[in-house]
Amino acid sequence: MPIVVRIDVELAKRKMSVGEFAERVGLTPANVAVLKNGRAKAVRFSTLEAMCRVLDCQPGDLLEWVDEGTGEEIP
């Protein structure tokens, strides 16, 4: 999948657990796992907004496009 989810990186930077993150965003820990593992097919803007608010970051900090052909991250 060319969109890589970087929630785990942002959680680690803030030393925040998945459980705390899930509670503050209003998701179940299982749904956070689906997002973190790249199994989600879509993300609501309201959920993305809540994640950014909780982590004090931009959407681009959480989602990144990677070229499938080369595997390289695109700046």
Residues facing 36 on adjacent strands: none
Per-residue pLDDT band at 71 (split at 50, 70, 90):
low
- Residue 7 pLDDT > 60: yes
* Cβ atoms 66, 73 nearer than 8 A: yes
Q: How far is CA 61 from the centre of its chain?
A: 8
pLDDT the model gives residue 72: 61
pLDDT the model gives residue 32: 96
* Cβ atoms 21, 53 nearer than 8 A: no
**Average pLDDT along the chain:** 91
pLDDT the model gives residue 75: 58
